Structure 1
Amino acid sequence: MQRSRSQTLYRYLPGAVYLHDDELVVRTSVVRGNPLGPTINKNALLAEVEHELRRWDEDKRAGIRVPRDTSDEAFVVIEPVLVQWEVWPLVFQCANRHCQRVRRFYRDEQVLEAREGDQRVRCEHCRSRLRQLRYYSAHACGRIQPMFVPTCRGCGSDENVFLEDTGSFETAAWRCRTCGNAYIKGTRMSPCDCGQYLSPQQTSSQAFMRQYTVRDPRSFYPQTVSLLNLKTNAYEQLQRHHARGRIAAASYLGDEARVGIALNELAGGESGERMSQEEWEEAIRTKYSQLDDDEIEAIRRRRGPATEGVAATSDLSAAACGLAAERRMLERATLYDPQQVARYRLEDAHDEAQRTGRTAQERALLRARERAGELGVDELAVTDQFPIAVAAYGYTRTSKRPNTSTLRGFARRGEYDNKDPIFAVTTDTEAALVALSAVDVLAWLRRRGSYPAPVPSDERDARAAVLEMFAVEETAPEGPQDTRVLVHTLSHVLLRALDDGRTGFGEASLAEWLVPETLTISIYVSSFQSHTLGALWTLLHSRSLEWMERAFDASWRCDNDPLCHHRRPRACERCLYLTFGCRRFNSDLSRELAMDFWRT
């Protein structure tokens, strides 16, 4: 069975149950591959895994250690190459509708041995083909088991038992052919002796498993993290620098604080206090009036007013700089540094068309810029150097949310050198980068009553206000919460608007990377191939206006309306949900907020 590496992370990890190409239902036992070594930023990956693991209580984690509690050597990062599986569940039913007798095996080798010349497993009674029962039970603690085959109370045997499959677990029943199709019992939920995740009506001895089909995704949720796999020297230095928060903040504020330049600026320390604009103008007239321009410029860089670079963050609070020191903010600063990652903006495409005399394209790109601005987009760009890594560190069953299920790791005795495996794929892929206007977002929040302060008219000051708003989220959560939902929703709207058959990418092959604190959306190609198609570059040049309009129109309607229209939050599989590309499993979405932000 040939599958891509990224598909393995979502569907074929150890513990997953699925339909194999040869029509057998199987369960992955081991995933083998190559240690990624220096091709992935292991320190950043373990820091992200650490953050995610801390969301689960200690008694809700099993089979995986917390990185901070052990050494980095206790983990191995593996790129999937080979999936080893076992036949499971081992309960088969005769395909002859007049027979339908059930046969249970106890080892998958028995199934393979029972195959006859045509590679089919045959019924011992009528010689018809046997097929697996594609149902099993799962519990939030992680336990799974095949359907229990009861013994007939009339004849005392299970050899003639069959399942009357009505298509519903509520009405399906076990019956016996020998006893005239007599009813034995229903297919009720099986008990689990873990004593966890009880409903209010259950006692400690009444935890029950739920029944699922093998195609039901609710029985297996891979827990993954995504991060920018940045390995440049500047990024490594930035992570360790004591002023990393100020550097990342300066990058977002647009003060031309490229990471390398900022690190050099701070290498020798900052000497003396800076003057205000008034003090500097007075010093030019008096104290420095006899100096030449080069000497004045050198002094200005050290003592002049902070107008750009890291020095321009002096008006930010310590809390805002602390927020900017978080890893995702550092990633964003490096991603938006043109010396680290090349990106091509809509403005660049317009200027190129103007320079080369392509008048029609120039007018179209100008209209696209204007429309993007009307929709609150401050910058639209693409890059073919988006260094993404996606890693799976564990899985849950029946529920994806922390502490509503047990998070299980992939460690297995005798495998992976007795280390905790993390399965990951990395690539430099294509991505569309969208930065929302801080002025427009703050104006929208103020209109909603989530941001009480006046809205700055300057984009740089508005961005600073956004950072300050997120820095005090614990005491004033309304603005940050609304902003997070808005950024996440617009990301889904924009991503789904690309699935129109013209970009070459379907919704399932795209994913999102978000930094809500900087109003940043990245939509990247998640196929993890070693090459890119240039489709997003073409999108920027030829279809950016169409993309914006398609996204705008999609926010106002849903195929499930009026049902979706009356839901709170207003979101469903027909308008906003993504198949694979959402790390938050389609939570924190609201089409109502997108409509409110984009209302005319």
Structure 2
Amino acid sequence: MGRKMQRGKQQIMFNYLPGKTFDFERVATIAKVANIRGVQRTDLNAVVLLRNVADEARAWRQDFRPLLRDDVLRDTSRFVLLDPQSVQSEIFPKVLWCQNRVCGRVFDFTGKDSLPKLCPTCKRGELMQLRWVKIHRCGAVQALRPPPCTQCHSSNNMALDTRGSERISSFRWICRQCGSAVPVFGGWCPECQWPDTDPNLKRMDVLVHRAGPTFYAHTVVLLNIPHRQLDPFFNLPEWPAIVAGKFIGLPEVGHKPLNEFSSVSPHSHENTGVGLSGADLDGLLRRQASGELTPEQFVKEMEALRRQREQEGLASSPSGIIMALEQRTGVQRQVWERAGQGMLDAIMPKETGRSQELFDNASAVSTVETARGLGLSRLTLVMDFPIINASYGYSRAEYSPKQCRLNPFPQDREHGGKFPIFVDQVQADALMLSLDHNRVLKWLERNGFNPKLPNGGDKDLSSKAYFVRLFDNIPLRETLGADNPEARMVFGLLHTLSHISIRQAALLCGLDRTSLSEYVLPSALMFAFYSNHRFGATIGALTALFEQSIDEWLNAIHDAGRCVYDPVCFERESSCHACTHLPETSCRFFNLNLSRSLLFGGPDPKLGNISVGYLDSTLR
């Protein structure tokens, strides 16, 4: 276009992605992003990132995401991670509208390089781009072109008459030659065969190009994504069991960092020849030299110690960890494998981040008691935490699954035709909150449920593993109903508490709710929230909240049981934009499965009455 404008990387990640239209600043021009040039990020772990994308995309049926199917997302060679550097755009649409009201003709110059400034028919009216476009839920966007006249069979004299309205239904195409008029109609999408019998879903919508439904960016957020130095660890088929063992506290895993498992062979269970250490041999030799051991006893002691070391080595090997995990929790390996990503997200802050744990602060006894009153078992501030925002695709007309197609961005020619995923890393602070699993179980029992713990050898580990099994293969991006009552209860509790925590934090730390985003880990009974805005990240807003206003914030959460729309909101769902909802950029679960009743008691639209809210004082 020959013109330039400056935008921040955060704006590019959401508002200037390929396929998005925008108004070019200071000039009356509408443009569409054609391409984003970026620097390839080879330091990030593409396997982990694509696994997160797959978890998000799985809410769509595979035929609603043909280029983001599970098999495609498992192939890292088909994607490239790009750090955006510059945006290239093109004029769109090239459909011009004469501003002379007597004329008002619309001309299609699609495919032309130069565009006239004056109407070629009346010679007086200034030509401006038509600001309406046609979109379809498959992802198609097209210019709104004048149709041929039903009488003259030509589109050269068609004018657009808005009849003084902003409603498309009031607009008319009028032929300036014969005077016939027809309504403005989007027509049927020519780019897809929409898989639905409802003909209305195959119709294109006519909208102002800057309207929200013309483009929805789809993103994933990764808190502290592992870098490439952990690639050997993720090559271990047993890695989900290892991170699960670290999460629930298996002593075999202990405080051993993940990168120390990288050098272990995937077939380590076949290696039985574990030798003695130098310290072991020195100890035996000293005992023999002192006369404590005869030569025969020395040999027997050495063999016994070697067998002991073999058993210890087997127990701390990946295969031994899997065995211990299954035996002590009663949950099968396949479940832990499917939960591996959530377990990884839960342990990474301790693995790599600088953090402060509220419950470890001996001088904050009253604050800890308040946190326990909210049913928390941990409240952690993670500082200078690398947060990766990754924009991987888009949709149009709708944002939710089953109502639109999820599309990747066009293939990047400069990187071998791979699908680009645009990533932006921000060093930010985050607050991570964990629920007390024993209190959650007690809360379920008080509300008439009977949670059946896995039959494991360790009751405490089994009670933690119950929640991993509970959310196995549960579609959390859909409304949970009475067929999954315990999952609805627990996830709704966690999700609602997350939203209320963010809303109250925004009031105290000086950031808008749109600047804070959640990260919910249901299997770990954990959620985090962080500043998704660079300004909020750099000023340390959440650090200030943790260090200066934490008591006020915790008390505000406890007192957030009312809504300005009560009793209507309370009687319907106990959830609305005024009490629990967050912007779509902040909530990964489409504001579904929320209810204040889970926290404070009251009616639930799917489960009936919740007699005991999680914040009920009798549960302390």
TM-score category of the 2 structures, normalised to the smaller one: 0.7 to 0.9
Match of 2:38 in 1: 33
Match of 1:404 in 2: 403
Distance change in 2, residues 1:69/1:462 (3 Å): closer
Tell me the distance in 1 between the aligned counterparts of 2:10 and 2:334.
35
Match of 1:343 in 2: 355
TM-fit CA distance, 1:376:
1.2
Match of 2:427 in 1: 428
Q: Answer yes or no: is the 8 Å Cα contact 1:173–1:183 preserved in 2.
A: no
Match of 2:544 in 1: 538
1:487 aligns with 2:491: no
1:598 aligns with 2:615: yes
Match of 2:256 in 1: 260
1:77 aligns with 2:81: yes
Tell me the distance in 1 between the aligned counterparts of 2:127 and 2:570.
47
Q: Answer yes or no: is the 8 Å Cα contact 2:342–2:521 preserved in 1.
A: yes
Tell me the distance in 2 between the aligned counterparts of 1:322 and 1:547.
36
Tell me the distance in 2 between the aligned counterparts of 1:80 and 1:323.
36
Summarize the alignment of residues 280-291 of structure 1 with structure 2, pairs less than 5 Å apart: none
Of 107, 113, 116, the residue aligned with 1:114 is: 116
| 3-state secondary structure, aligned to 1:227 | strand
TM-fit CA distance, 1:55:
5.2
1:222 aligns with 2:217: yes
- Structure 1 range deviating more: 432-441 or 14-23: 14-23
Of 187, 190, 196, the residue aligned with 2:187 is: 190
| 3-state secondary structure, aligned to 2:588 | coil
Match of 1:373 in 2: 372
TM-fit CA distance, 1:374:
1.2
Distance change in 2, residues 1:592/1:2 (3 Å): farther
TM-fit CA distance, 1:99:
4.3
| 3-state secondary structure, aligned to 2:84 | strand
Tell me the distance in 2 between the aligned counterparts of 1:41 and 1:413.
20
- Structure 1 range deviating more: 370-379 or 225-234: 225-234
Tell me the distance in 2 between the aligned counterparts of 1:422 and 1:18.
21
TM-fit CA distance, 1:461:
6.0
Q: Answer yes or no: is the 8 Å Cα contact 2:136–2:396 preserved in 1.
A: yes
Matched residue type, 1:429? A
1:498-535 deviations in whole A, cap 9, x for unaligned? Answer: 222x4243222222222100111111222357973322
1:402-437 deviations in whole A, cap 9, x for unaligned? Answer: 453333222347453222222222233211111111
Distance change in 2, residues 1:594/1:217 (3 Å): farther
Summarize the alignment of residues 71-110 of structure 1 with structure 2, pairs less than 5 Å apart: 71-94=75-98, 98-99=101-102, 101-107=104-110
Q: Answer yes or no: is the 8 Å Cα contact 1:138–1:210 preserved in 2.
A: yes
| 3-state secondary structure, aligned to 2:256 | helix
Q: How many residues align?
A: 546
Q: Answer yes or no: is the 8 Å Cα contact 1:62–1:409 preserved in 2.
A: no
Summarize the alignment of residues 151-300 of structure 1 with structure 2, pairs less than 5 Å apart: 158=157, 160-175=159-174, 184-193=181-190, 196-197=193-194, 200=197, 202=199, 207-231=202-226, 235-236=230-231, 238-241=233-236, 243-254=238-249, 257-258=253-254, 260=256
Gaps of 5+ in 1: 116-120, 272-289, 355-364
TM-fit CA distance, 1:139:
1.2
Matched residue type, 1:575? T
Matched residue type, 1:2? Q
TM-fit CA distance, 1:438:
0.9
Length-normalised TM-score, structure 1: 0.77
Summarize the alignment of residues 299-310 of structure 1 with structure 2, pairs less than 5 Å apart: none
Match of 2:467 in 1: 466
Q: Answer yes or no: is the 8 Å Cα contact 1:94–1:129 preserved in 2.
A: yes
| 3-state secondary structure, aligned to 1:390 | strand
Matched residue type, 1:164? R
Matched residue type, 1:387? P
Q: Answer yes or no: is the 8 Å Cα contact 2:138–2:192 preserved in 1.
A: no
Tell me the distance in 2 between the aligned counterparts of 1:530 and 1:550.
21
- Structure 1 range deviating more: 519-528 or 237-246: 237-246
1:551 aligns with 2:557: yes
Tell me the distance in 2 between the aligned counterparts of 1:188 and 1:372.
57
TM-fit CA distance, 1:460:
5.9
Q: Answer yes or no: is the 8 Å Cα contact 2:136–2:204 preserved in 1.
A: yes
| 3-state secondary structure, aligned to 2:185 | coil
Q: Answer yes or no: is the 8 Å Cα contact 2:22–2:30 preserved in 1.
A: yes
Summarize the alignment of residues 579-598 of structure 1 with structure 2, pairs less than 5 Å apart: 579-596=584-601, 597-598=614-615
Tell me the distance in 1 between the aligned counterparts of 2:172 and 2:228.
64
TM-fit CA distance, 1:539:
0.9
Tell me the distance in 2 between the aligned counterparts of 1:238 and 1:556.
48
TM-fit CA distance, 1:395:
1.8
Matched residue type, 2:468? L
1:515 aligns with 2:515: no
Q: Answer yes or no: is the 8 Å Cα contact 2:496–2:580 preserved in 1.
A: no
Matched residue type, 2:78? A
Distance change in 2, residues 1:71/1:454 (3 Å): closer
TM-fit CA distance, 1:441:
1.6
Q: Answer yes or no: is the 8 Å Cα contact 2:400–2:590 preserved in 1.
A: no
Match of 2:342 in 1: 329
Matched residue type, 2:467? V
| 3-state secondary structure, aligned to 1:170 | helix
Distance change in 2, residues 1:385/1:319 (3 Å): farther
Tell me the distance in 1 between the aligned counterparts of 2:446 and 2:164.
56
Distance change in 2, residues 1:191/1:88 (3 Å): same
Between the two proteins, what is the percent identity of the paired residues? 25
Matched residue type, 1:28? V
TM-fit CA distance, 1:331:
2.0
Q: Answer yes or no: is the 8 Å Cα contact 1:222–1:394 preserved in 2.
A: yes
- Structure 1 range deviating more: 13-22 or 588-597: 588-597
| 3-state secondary structure, aligned to 2:371 | helix
Matched residue type, 2:244? A
Q: Answer yes or no: is the 8 Å Cα contact 2:471–2:522 preserved in 1.
A: no
Tell me the distance in 1 between the aligned counterparts of 2:259 and 2:417.
40
TM-fit CA distance, 1:334:
3.4
Distance change in 2, residues 1:153/1:336 (3 Å): closer
| 3-state secondary structure, aligned to 2:518 | strand
1:321-340 deviations in whole A, cap 9, x for unaligned? Answer: 74266342342353243x52
TM-fit CA distance, 1:184:
0.7
